[in-house]
């Protein structure tokens, strides 16, 4: 059994990459499958919402795994999360070490694109689904995520979807496929914070569908999606009818993205 390794990317900030990874991770665990989240964003947002205790300056994280100067392996960096069945390779936002490693990678030699891949390969029999939260840039951290992944998904807001941005991202994905990871598959886009009921929203969606496959149902803009994450609670456990029905969108989305998850 080899893990489905999925990178969630968009160089545009604030479109919902982290929120999507957070709610999808719960959906994986809820289906009785083992999930790992890897935080490749120096902001460390997904690490903050997935951990019970705040991460401290000396905690080990993905920066140590990627750094040439450290002997830390990915196994040393695994931490439990607020949910059983979901583990995390965190980024420790307070020590800015991932930003430092990102800058080191720019001047590093051969193999710098494969460091996360080599680490993730050690775990591919341990987890069913590995979700990688990417930073809002097309830097060597995102490239490491794309080299480590088998699949990639663009997360975008319909109103903020940019054909130019997608073209740039596609060029990066194609370059990664050519040089490092021929198996990488661009699955399509998850449309987040969608205003489904407006004519503008419907027109935007039709326009997006001309340039990329839209995965599953769009995710609407709902305060509970944000509030539940900030309260470190799943939509299921939030317990309202509305939140539970939103949880089903994430369940269906992860089913679309992986095999055997129902
Ligand atoms: N479907 C949604 N409904 C309502 N609020 C949402 C939804 N998705 C995301 N948000 C909110 O939008 C903001 C941006 O989301 P998020 O941090 O997930 O984006 P991101 O793409 O990871 O950003 P960055 O590029 O900075 O990492 C957050 O405050 C989040 O709570
Ligand atoms: Mg984010």
Considering every ligand atom shown, identify the ligand nearest to the alpha carbon of residue 11 and give its number: 1
Give me the domain span that covers residue 218.
4-256
Residue 187 lies in a domain: yes
Two structure tokens written together for 16: 């919902």
Residue 244 lies in a domain: yes
Q: What pLDDT sits at residue 131? A: 98
Considering every ligand atom shown, identify the ligand nearest to the alpha carbon of residue 9 and give its number: 1
Cβ of 80 below 6 Å from ligand 1: no
Residue 90 lies in a domain: yes
Q: Which residues of the chain fall short of a pLDDT of 70?
A: 260-262
Residue 261 lies in a domain: no
Residue whose pair of structure tokens reads 């987890």 in the numeric block: 127
Residue 34: half-sphere exposure toward Cβ, Cα within 13 Å: 11
Q: Which atom of ligand 1 is nearest to the CA of 135?
A: 27
Residue whose pair of structure tokens reads 């390794």 in the numeric block: 5
Cβ of 165 below 6 Å from ligand 1: no
Cβ of 18 below 6 Å from ligand 1: yes
Cβ of 234 below 6 Å from ligand 1: no
pLDDT in tens, 80-102: 999 999 999 999 988 889 999 99
Q: DSSP labels for 157-201?
A: ETTT--HHHHHHHHHHHHHHHHHT-TT-EEEEEEEESB-TTSHHH
Two structure tokens written together for 46: 């997904």
Considering every ligand atom shown, identify the ligand nearest to the alpha carbon of residue 195 and give its number: 1
Q: What pLDDT sits at residue 261? A: 38
Residue 114 lies in a domain: yes
Rama region for 170: left / alpha / beta (φ>0; ψ in -120 to 50; rest): alpha
Cβ of 113 below 6 Å from ligand 1: no
Q: What is the CATH number of the domain that holds 123?
A: 3.40.50.300
Residue 54 lies in a domain: yes
**Closest by Cα among 98, 97, 62, 102 to 78:** 62
> If you measure from the C-alpha of residue 85 to the centroid of ligand 1, how many angstroms do you get, rounded to a whole number?
23
Q: Which atom of ligand 1 is nearest to the CA of 21?
A: 18
Contact indicator for 24, 190 with CB cutoff of 8 Å: no
> If you measure from the C-alpha of residue 174 to the centroid of ligand 1, how many angstroms do you get, rounded to a whole number?
27
Contacts of 256 by beta carbon, 8 Å cutoff, 6+ apart: 215, 216
Q: What pLDDT sits at residue 262? A: 37
Residue 229 lies in a domain: yes
> If you measure from the C-alpha of residue 14 to the centroid of ligand 2, how many angstroms do you get, rounded to a whole number?
7
Residue 15 lies in a domain: yes
Alpha helices in the chain (DSSP H): 17-30, 45-50, 62-66, 97-107, 115-121, 140-148, 163-179, 199-209, 223-230, 235-238, 241-257
Give, using CA atoms, the residue closest to atom 9 of ligand 1: 16
Cβ of 171 below 6 Å from ligand 1: no
Neighbours of 137 (CB within 10 A): 16
Q: Which atom of ligand 1 is nearest to the CA of 12?
A: 25
Cβ of 225 below 6 Å from ligand 1: yes
Contact indicator for 45, 192 with CB cutoff of 8 Å: no
Question: What's the total number of domains in the chain?
Answer: 1
């Amino acid at each position: 059994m080899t893990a489905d390794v999925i990178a969630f990317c968009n160089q545009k900030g604030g479109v919902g990459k982290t929120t999507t990874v957070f709610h999808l991770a719960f959906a994986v665990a809820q289906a009785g499958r083992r999930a790992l989240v890897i935080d490749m964003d120096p902001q460390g947002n997904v690490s903050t919402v997935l951990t019970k205790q705040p991460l401290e300056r000396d905690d080990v994280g993905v920066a140590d795994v990627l750094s040439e100067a450290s002997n830390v392996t990915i196994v040393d960096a695994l931490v439990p999360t607020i949910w059983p069945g979901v583990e995390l390779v965190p980024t420790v936002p307070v020590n800015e070490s991932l930003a430092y490693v990102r800058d080191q990678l720019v001047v590093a030699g051969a193999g710098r694109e494969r460091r996360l891949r080599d680490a993730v390969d050690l775990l591919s029999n341990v987890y069913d689904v590995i979700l990688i939260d990417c930073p809002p840039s097309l830097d060597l951290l995102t490239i490491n995520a794309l080299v480590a992944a088998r699949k990639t998904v663009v997360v975008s807001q319909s109103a903020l979807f940019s054909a130019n941005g997608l073209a740039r991202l596609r060029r990066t994905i194609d370059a990664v496929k050519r040089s490092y990871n021929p198996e990488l598959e661009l699955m399509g886009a998850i449309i987040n914070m969608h205003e489904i009921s407006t004519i503008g929203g419907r027109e935007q969606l039709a326009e997006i569908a001309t340039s990329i496959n839209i995965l599953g149902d769009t995710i609407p803009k709902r305060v509970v999606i944000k509030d539940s994450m900030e309260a470190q609670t799943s939509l299921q456990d939030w317990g309202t009818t509305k939140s539970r029905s939103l949880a089903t969108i994430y369940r269906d989305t992860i089913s679309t993205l992986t095999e055997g998850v129902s």
